Structure formats: structure tokens, C-alpha cells
Structure 1
Amino acid sequence: MYQLFKTVFIGVIFSTGLLAAPLDAIDVKPDVVYGHKDGMALSYDVFKPRKNSNGVGLLFMISGGWVSQWTPPEVAVGFFKPFLNAGYTVITVRHGSSPRYVIPEIAQDVRLALKHVHENTEELGIDSTRIGIFGFSAGGHLSLLLGTTTNDHGDAKTPRVAAVAAVFPPTDLRPYVEVTNPLRERFPALKFDASKVDLYSPLLQVTQDDAPTLLVHGDKDELVPLWHSEKICDAFTEAHVDHELLVIKGAAHGFDADGNKRMFEAMIRWFDTHLATMKSVPAL
């Protein structure tokens, strides 16, 4: 899944003509350390537009198959150009990777990253009440975990995000943690205590106070079938959570140029609606 994620990531840059994103219009702060793990630094990069910043921060979960790797900022910036042009500050989060770490440990990393961002919003130039999150595949799964976090599960100190966009995300991990499922060997991050699977399945964590959530999914996706997004949308409907599902017809686990264009437009529109037009809540 990570190699596919990398192919999709680079493919989006080329297919949508985003490669030439001038760094002179963007402030880049690479390798901000948000924590340490087994003697290693956990870090994120910050991309901030210089002229039109709207004060909104978007966390991007760098994760494919729950593997998170570094990409040179001058390459990565092209992918985020639509968000930067719209005034968003993009924070690209790297987590401890599979196979060394499994999903509960990875979830702990991204929660720590969100907490660090919240604690440093003034330095980052963003509003703590207007933070969104997005990701693809495993990154979408992690985005949904943070969007459905409650004080009843996990770290009670984890801040809430204000909006989520998840692209072809796995939402129910129960089928995948079974020892007979070959995907456990393909994606070792799934080799965690199966008794805890509900806590790490966003579908099973939906509550009425969850963040507004956009799902984008191809109807021909065989790796992460469309039902993952359809079922969590059903749960959002039952819980009265604002949500939307964009189905890309004929698309598998990755989109063509037209599908990528529709995806970006939908995400920008979603974040504009739920974040860019929000009024900041004064600190108490």
C-alpha cells in the first residue's frame, strides 16, 4: 500500500500540473520535532503561504500502508499547491512506520503531533479552533481516527479537529486483523491485539460531536472497497454528523487527472465551508 501511495502522490503532482510550485511564495519550515520514540525524532514539515494565509492549519497524514517516509519539501510542495493557493497552512505529519510499529502505536504518534500543533499555533500562525486534517488510504484512516476521537477512548488530552477529509480510507479494521486474513502479512501494522480493534476502527467510534467529514472513494477500489466509506457515512447520518461522500466512478485505489481534479475541488470546498469561513473563538 505504501508503494501505491507513493505512486499516487507523485502521480497527482504530474497529472494535475502541480510540479512547478514556486517556493519563493511559500515559507517552508522542515523537520519540526513533535516528539521522540525509541531514540528517534518524530517530525512534521510546515508549508505556509506568505501573502494570503487564512489562518487555517491542515494536517496531512503521510501514510500509505501505515508507512510514513520523508519527501523533499521542494517535491512535496507541488502536491499541496491547491491548498496553499487557497490560503491554507499545510502541516505534513510523519509517524513511526510499519513494520516496526503497529496501528495503536502509530495512532499515538499522530495524536501527539496534533497536540504539538495545538500547543504551537501562535508560532505557526494558525487558529487553534480552525484545524483540519486529511489523508489518503492509511492516512485517511488516521485522519478519521482523529476526527472521531472522544474522551471515552484513547488520550483524553487529544485536541479535536474541526474538519476532516479522507480519501479511500479503511474505516473498519475488524476483517483485517483476523489471523487468516493475508492482508495482515502484507500490512504488518495490522498485527496488533485484535481485542482492541474497535478502538482503531473509525466506523465504530462515530459520535454526534464528530468533526464534519468528507469522504472521497472510487467505486472500483478493490484494496479498500467503497463500502468502507459508505458504512461510515451511514453511521454519520445516524449520529447527525455533517458529512459528504464523493464517489469517483470507475476509479480504483487512485484517480486519474479528472478524478484528482474533482477530489481537490471537493476538499477545498469542504475546508472553505467548515474552516475558512469560521470565526475564531476567543481564548478564555
Structure 2
Amino acid sequence: MSHRYTCIGVSNYSFNNGIIALREKVCLNAIKARIIRILKLLFLVSVPIVAIWNLFIALVLILFANFKNIKKNLFGKLPLDVPKKSSVGPYTKIYKREDKKLYKIDIYYPATGQAPFPVVIFAHGGGWISGFRNQPNNISWYRFLNYHGFAVATMDYRYGYRYHIRDIMKDYSDAVSYIQQNAKRFGLNPDQVILMGLSAGGHLSLLYATYFSKMDQKEKLRGINAVVAWYSPADLLDIWDMEVASLFARFSTLTVVKEFPKKNRRSYEYFSPISWVSNRMIPTMLVHGLQDTIVPAKSSVKMFKKLREHGVQSKLKLHPTGGHCFEFELKDNFTKKILLQTVKFMKEHLCENVCLNENA
């Protein structure tokens, strides 16, 4: 009996140890699985955080490298001084509500003269990812145009770091339509409208004018007499040329188009004004500095040649020593001359439009 008891006792002991060992193994596996899940979760969370951090660092470095241009863009001033009292405003209007946000237009009026005023719809630059309608350098332009008898309507638009160029163009188009529809109410002449922009803003102005003229959408161009673009990319692919030293230019273009040109060349071509030039294009003035390392001057040269090939009234002014935003830095006579020629170009085409309307 004792022998059998001992055997049974030993068996029970082994069995219990096996259960305990199994439980310990199950617990260890559960702990390992939990640790793995936590590590995976940390990895999934950390990857976008690291990516955002790296993007932030890259952006800071790019902005630091372009500090001179940014400072010039924000705080520059035109070399032709005009009295501050030559301008009245701004008067701020809301032109749309989008994504629970209000988008605004500021209107600046000449201090002298009588309404309705001819109006320049002005789009700021900033690589589609920065800039704002009332930054100091832009106000220098508004006062200059006010002094020469033009009202100025200038808008904010969505930025490319969150939105696509398509969305920004929608904002620009909505702003133009808003001015067209409300011009008389605001003391503006609906038949005397000029589109103008600097850098990325010039790109928006050119793209709007070329696309809707190519599509023969007369209502979109109603009352618009001409377009003026200073140092603007007419062909977005030019930003990726080897001669372009600016990382900011490539970064901002990539940010707003959302793809590299090698992956989607057609998208770059589609949103390039040069792709939409036709013989229906409105008169165009292009200005560029030959030393521009952000947007190469050849972009304006190519655009000018294509406009001429289609019989479009066009003018190109190249500054031999001018870089990007050169009118805020250079004080030479040639820069002043180009500024005055810009106003002359606008007035000439306003006159042509008035004459055509009177003879109709």
C-alpha cells in the first residue's frame, strides 16, 4: 500500500508542477505579447512624430537658409516713395467660409479721385505655403498703386502645407468672383480689373487667366483687362532645374503639388500656366530678375515666347542684376523704371477696354 501511495503521490506532485509550469509559460507568453503590442504602438506613434519633427527641423533650416529673402519679402519697400496719405484703407471683407474658417479680402482705395476706381486684384507670394495679404512689403505695393489711381483688392488663401494647389486656385477664383460680383457696391469699376501677383501669387494670377481664356469661359474673365506677374513660375518644372539653388522653392512646390515631378509630371504640367496659353489669353506683363535663384528667369522667358507665338499682347522686363523680390532691395533707376512701366502697362490696357466698350 505504501509503495502504491508513494507512486501516486509522486505522480500528483509531477502533475501539479506541470500545471504550474504551464501557467507560468502562459503568463510569460502573455507578458511578451503585451510588451510586443506596446512596442508596436510606440513605434506607430513615434514614426509620425519623428517624421513631423524631422520635417520641422528641415523647414527651420530651409527658412534659416532663406532668411535674407524672407526678411526682404516681409519688410521690404519699393524704391519709389509715395505719401502714406495717398492710400485709404484697408476695408476688410469676407469673401468665403471654408473649413470653418473665414477668408478675407482687404480693399485699399486712392485717397484722391472719384469712384468707381479701376481695381488691381493682388495675390501675395510666399511659395503657396506662407505670406499674408497685409504683410509690409505688399502694403508698399498697394500704396504705390493707390498713388497712381488704382484701388487694390488683396486676398488670403489656404496654404499648401495642408491643402493642394487645386484648393488654393479655388480660393483665388472665389476671390476674383467676389470682386466681380460686388465691384459696384465697393466703389470699384467692374469693367476695369487687372490681375497681379508676386512669385506664387503671380503664378495663381497667370494660371487663372490662361486656364479660363483657353477654356473660353468669358464669365470668369468678365471685366479683366490684363495680368501682371513679377518673378513667377510659369512652368512648375523649372523649379526642379539644377540652376535653382533654393531648397525652399523645391520644398514649397513639392508641398503644394504633393508629389515629385518624376512620379507625376502631368500634375506639374497641369498646374503650370504655360500649359494653357492660347490666342484668347488677355494682355500679359512679365517681370523677372536674371539673378533669381528661387524662380529661374527662364520661366518668364519661356512664357513670353509662347504668348508671342499665340499672338498675345505681352511684355517682358528682365532686370540684369535683380534676384527674387528685387524691387524691395534694389534702388537703381532701372528698378524704378520697371515699376512705372508696370503702371503704364495697366493704364494702357484699361484705356483699350474702355474704348472697346464705348465703340461696341
Q: State the TM-score, normalizing by the size of structure 2.
A: 0.68
Question: Does structure 1 retain, via aligned residues, the 8 Å contact 2:87–2:143?
Answer: no
CA contact (8 A) 1:33 1:44 kept: yes
Structure 2 contact 238–295 (Cα < 8 Å) conserved = no
Aligned-pair CA distance for 1:176: 4.7
Q: Is the 8 A contact 1:177 1:197 kept in 2?
A: no
- What is the alpha-carbon distance in structure 1 between the residues aligned to residue 218 and residue 107 of structure 2? 26
What RMSD in Å do the two structures reach over aligned CA positions? 3.0
Equivalent residue in structure 2 for 1:48, among 94, 109, 132: 109
Q: Residue in 1 aligned with 2:191? A: 129
Corresponding residue to 1:114 among 151, 176, 181: 176
1:11 matched to which residue of 2? 76
Q: Deviations over 1:144-203 (max 9, x none)?
A: 11221326659886335211111111011135589xx96543441132565333331111
Q: Give 1:216 shift.
A: 0.7
What is the correspondence of 1:75-224 to structure 2 with a 5 Å cutoff?
77-150=139-212, 158-160=220-222, 161-176=224-239, 183-187=249-253, 188-191=255-258, 194-224=265-295
User: Would you tell me which structure has more helix in proportion to its own residues?
Assistant: 2
- 1:267 aligns with 342
Structure 2 CA distance for partners of 1:153 and 1:46, relative to 1, 3 Å: same
What SS does the aligned partner of 1:87 have?
coil
2-structure distance, mates of 1:76, 1:204 = 28
Cα distance in structure 2, aligned partners of 1:11 and 1:133? 22
Distance 1:118 1:165 in 2: 18
Name the CA shift for 1:250/1:29 in 2 (closer, same or farther; >3 Å): closer
Q: Report the CA distance between 1:118 and its aligned residue.
A: 0.5
Structure 1 residue 63: Cα displacement: 2.4
Offset of residue 17 of structure 1: 3.2
Residues 1:186 and 1:109: Cα distance change in structure 2 (over 3 Å): closer
In the alignment, what sits opposite 2:50?
A: none
Cα pair distance change 1:200/1:153, threshold 3 Å: farther
> Aligned partners of 1:121, 1:70: CA distance in 2, in Å?
19
Give the alignment of 1:58-77 within 5 angstroms.
Answer: 58-66=120-128, 67-71=130-134, 77=139
Q: Please say if residues 126 and 199 of structure 2, whose CA atoms lie closer than 8 Å, have aligned partners that are also in contact.
A: yes
| Aligned partners of 1:177 and 1:184 also within 8 Å | yes
Quote how far apart the aligned CAs of 1:48 are.
1.0
Counterpart-to-counterpart distance in 1, 2:235 and 2:252: 17
Distance in 2 (alpha carbons) for counterparts of 1:198 and 1:90? 30
Distance in structure 1 (CA, Å) of the matches to 2:167 and 2:113: 36
Relative to structure 1, the CA distance from residue 209 to residue 155 in structure 2 (aligned partners, 3 Å threshold; closer, same or farther) is closer
Distance 2:216 2:74 in 1: 30
The aligned residue for residue 257 of structure 1 is: 331
How many residues align? The count is 276
Q: 2:308 aligns with which of 221, 237, 262?
A: 237
Structure 1, unaligned stretches of length 5 or more?
none
TM-score normalised by L of structure 1: 0.85
Opposite residue 110 of structure 2, the aligned amino acid is P
Larger radius of gyration: 2
* Structure 2 CA distance for aligned equivalents of residues 128 and 6 of structure 1: 35
Question: Separation in 2 of the partners of 1:44 and 1:167?
Answer: 21
Find out whether 1:248 has 2:311 as its counterpart.
Answer: no
Partner of 1:158, secondary structure, is coil
Distance 1:81 1:134, change over 3 A: same
Separation of aligned partners in 2, 1:101 and 1:154? 27
| Contact 1:218/1:226 (<8 A) preserved | yes
